């Protein structure tokens, strides 16, 4: 079965060491996205990058950074994504948020697929 159509991709760029009440900020964003019923969220760690501080963060061994860039990607219909934005206003002190219009093709299993029947 295939679901498809227009959606929004919400990408939040923050630092790995950013905190929310002494816990990782990325964890709180994902937790709130889940609680808000958004379709899904993924956190990806960058191997190198820089942002507002203009300081390059990297995984290279000679200049190993403890604050690597993170990207949190959430894709859902426009209404739930836009409804989630006030949560980011509360959570993100420094970072970048991008909203893109995207077209989604979601595969949710094939009839008679044994891999799907065991889930």
Residue 119 lies in a domain: no
**pLDDT tens per residue, range 22-49:** 999 999 999 999 999 999 999 999 877 7
Residue 113 lies in a domain: no
Give the per-residue SS3 of 79-113.
HHHHHHHHHHHHHCCCCEEEEEEEEEEEECCCCCC
Question: In angstroms, rounded to a whole number, what is the distance separating the alpha carbons of residues 99 and 77?
Answer: 12
Question: In angstroms, rounded to a whole number, what is the distance separating the alpha carbons of residues 3 and 108?
Answer: 8
Residue 55 lies in a domain: yes
Residue 32 lies in a domain: yes
Q: 């002494």: which residue's tokens? A: 22
Question: In angstroms, rounded to a whole number, what is the distance separating the alpha carbons of residues 108 and 29?
Answer: 25
pLDDT category at 1 given cuts 50, 70, 90 is: very low
Residue 49 lies in a domain: yes
Residue 39 lies in a domain: yes
Residue 20 lies in a domain: yes
- Domain count across the chain: 1
Residue 23 lies in a domain: yes
**pLDDT tens per residue, range 78-99:** 999 999 999 999 999 988 999 9
What pLDDT is recorded for position 11?
Answer: 98
User: Beta strands 2-15 and 19-20: pairing type?
Assistant: unpaired
> Residue 52 sits in a domain of what CATH number?
3.30.70.120
The parent domain of residue 85 ranges over 2-107
1 DSSP assignment: -
């Amino acid at each position: 079965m295939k679901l498809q159509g227009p959606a929004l991709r919400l990408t939040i760029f923050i630092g790995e060491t950013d905190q929310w009440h002494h816990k990782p900020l990325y964890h709180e964003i994902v937790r709130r996205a889940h609680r808000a019923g958004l379709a899904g969220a993924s956190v990806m760690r960058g191997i190198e990058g820089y942002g507002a501080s203009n300081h390059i963060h990297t995984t290279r061994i000679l200049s190993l950074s403890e604050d690597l860039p993170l990207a949190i990607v959430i894709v859902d219909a426009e209404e739930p994504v836009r409804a989630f934005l006030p949560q980011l206003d509360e959570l993100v002190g420094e970072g970048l948020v991008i909203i893109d219009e995207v077209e989604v093709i979601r595969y949710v299993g094939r009839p008679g697929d044994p891999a799907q029947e065991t889930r």
